[in-house]
Structure 1
Amino acid sequence: MSIAQNLLDIKSSLPDNVTLVAVSKTKPVSDLMEAYEAGQRIFGENKIQEMTEKWQQMPKDIEWHMIGHVQSNKVKYMVPYVKLIHGVDSLKLLKEINRQAVRWRKNINCLLQIHIAEEETKFGLDENELDTLLNSDEFKEMNNIKIVGLMGMATFTDNQAQIKREFNHLKKIFDALKNQPTTQNLQPTTLSMGMSGDYQIAIESGSTMVRIGSSIFGSR
C-alpha cells in the first residue's frame, strides 16, 4: 500500500470533527512529500532539530506540530514556525515558550499534556498540577501563549478496556476545563488523543485530534 492510499483510507474513516496529524518523525522528506501531494497539510514531529530541517525544505503551507517531549533550551528554534505544541507538561516550559513568543512577537498555541497512562515513563501533569498551573498568577500574565486544549497518551497495552478507561478519564478532565471561563490564554477546543494502535477508541471517547504515523508511513 502506498502512503497516499493509506492516508486516503484513514481520512475516509475519520469523523468530520477529527483532525489528522501525520506523525512523520524519522521519515525522509520524500515520504512527507508523498503525503503532501495526497493532500495532507498537518505533520507532527518529536524532535525540534529534525522538524526545523524539514520545515526549511518543504512547502510553507504546512502546519507543523511538535508532539514530543520539549526541552526548554530548544524552544527558540521552533517558535518562528510551529503551529501547535502538544506536549507542554510544566509551568517552566510554558514560561519559556511565552518568553520566546514575546521575542518573536508571536502567539503560540499549546496543549497541556495530562498523564493518564499507568506507565511511569510517560510525561504529563496530574489533575492537581493542572489546576495549580492554570490558577497561578504567572500563567495569567502570559499573553503570548494560548492553551487550546489537552493531550494524553494511553498505556501501551492490548487491553482495550484499560485504554478506553484512560481516554474517558482525559475526556472528563477536558470537559471540566471547557466549563471554566475562557480567558485570552485559555480557550480549550482541542483534545489530542489516539495514535495508530488506538485512535478508533480515542475517537469513540471524544478525541478531536489523532496522531497517526505507522499506519500512514509504515513501521519505523
Structure 2
Amino acid sequence: MAKSESTTIDVPESSAVAKGKAPLIVHGSAASAAAGGGYKRGLSIFDFLLRIAAIVAALAASATMGTSDETLPFFTQFFQFQASYDDLPTFQFFVIAMAIVAGYLVLSLPFSVVTIVRPLAAAPRLLLLVLDTAVLTLNTAAASAAAAIVYLAHSGNPNTNWLAICQQFGDFCQKTSGAVVSSFISVVFFTILVVISGISLKRP
C-alpha cells in the first residue's frame, strides 16, 4: 500500500514539473529571436544608409573623372597641349567601372529594404553578400589602376623617361586625384557592407 501511494504521488509531481518548465523554454527562445531581429534590423538600416553614401561616392568618382579635360592656353592653330581622361584606357575603364558600381548600388536598394522589413530572412542578405563582394573587387581594381596612373602624372618615372605632367595640367590632375579618392571611399563603404552582411547572417 505504501509503495502504491508513493508511486501515484510521484508521477503527477514529475509531470507538473515538466509542464512548468516547457513554457519557460519557449518564452526564452522567443525573447532571443526578438532581440536578434532588433539588432539585425538596426544593421539593415545602417546598410541602407551606407549604400546611399556609396552611390554618391561612386557617381562622384565617375562624373569627376569623365569631365577631366584641360587644354593649355599656349597653343597655335596646328599644335596644342591637351589632357583628357579618354587619352588613357585606364581612365576610360575607371569611368565605366565606377558607373557600373553606382548602377549596382541603385539596384541593390530594394533588397536592402527587404532586409529591413524582414531582418531574419537569410536569402536576400546572402545574395547581397555575394554581389557586394564581386562589385567590391571591380571597384578596388578600378581605383587601384587609376591611382597608379595618377601617381605617375604627379611624380613621373625618370627610369622610363615618363615626365610628370601635373605642373602643367594642374586642373586635370586635381580632378583625377579627386576621382580616385572618391573611388577609394566607395571601397571603404563596400567593405563595411560586406562585414555587415556577414554579421547579419549569424544566428541570433
Q: TM-score range by the shorter chain?
A: under 0.3
TM-score by length of structure 1 reads 0.25
Which has more radius of gyration?
2
The structure whose residues are more often helix, as a share, is: 2
- Provide TM-score, normalisation by structure 2: 0.27
Higher RCO (CA < 8 A, seq sep 6+): 2
Which structure: greater strand fraction? 1
